[in-house]
Amino acid sequence: MRSIITFAIVAMILAAIVPRLYGDMRPRPTVAMSAAPAAAINSAATGSRAVTIRQGGNGHFQLDAIVDGRRLEFLVDTGATGVALRESDAARLGIHPAARDYTARSATANGVVRVAPVMLNRVEVGDIAVYNVAAVVFPDQSLGQNLLGMSFLSRVRWQQENGRLVLEQ
């Protein structure tokens, strides 16, 4: 009986570790833009990773990010407390909040909306990866597009200048 319990514990530990190791071995995607292509810049001299995103024609910074292995489009929003996901995009990630999971409230331009707090394992923008990122799921009708907010941005260095947003880790 003891050997079965030991085997079960080892199997659970491996089940937790192996996916993380596999995720670190995947090739890193480059940043893509909806409005204009972005250039990724690697700073070997400082040992940091940097990504430059060009401002779109609408004045916003939009990008594709990899969230838990899936590509999603985002609007960079320094006024958003956290990452905000549309319900349909959260479903693509395997996140399906039930009605009882919508326990928090968020003030939007259209009023107060009930949202479901979730935790994202990994959010990648180019060569930059941030782990355990707090997010909320909005009903699709309450959010026009996903927002890359401060729960991600506060964990990287960023600077906006001359129509470019530079993220650095």
Find out whether 103 and 155 touch, Cβ atoms under 8 Å.
no
CA-CA-CA-CA torsion sign (44, 83, 68, 33):
negative
pTM exceeding the 0.75 threshold for the entire prediction: no
pLDDT for 1: 60
User: What pLDDT digit, counting tens, does each position of 15-74 carry?
Assistant: 544 444 444 444 333 343 333 334 444 444 456 899 999 999 999 999 999 999 999 999
User: What pLDDT digit, counting tens, does each position of 137-147 carry?
Assistant: 999 999 999 99
User: What pLDDT digit, counting tens, does each position of 73-130 carry?
Assistant: 999 999 999 999 999 999 999 999 999 999 999 998 879 999 999 999 999 999 999 9
The Cα 102–Cα 62 span in angstroms is 27
Domain boundaries, the chain: 29-168
pLDDT for 103: 97
pLDDT for 48: 81
With tokens 């659970």, the residue in question is: 12
pLDDT for 110: 78
Q: Pick the residue with more confidence: 1 or 14?
A: 1
The CATH number that domain 29-168 falls under is 2.40.70.10
pLDDT for 3: 53
pLDDT band at 5 (very low <50, low <70, confident <90, very high): low
With residue 25 as reference, give the H or E element that holds it.
Answer: helix 2-25
Residue type, 46: T
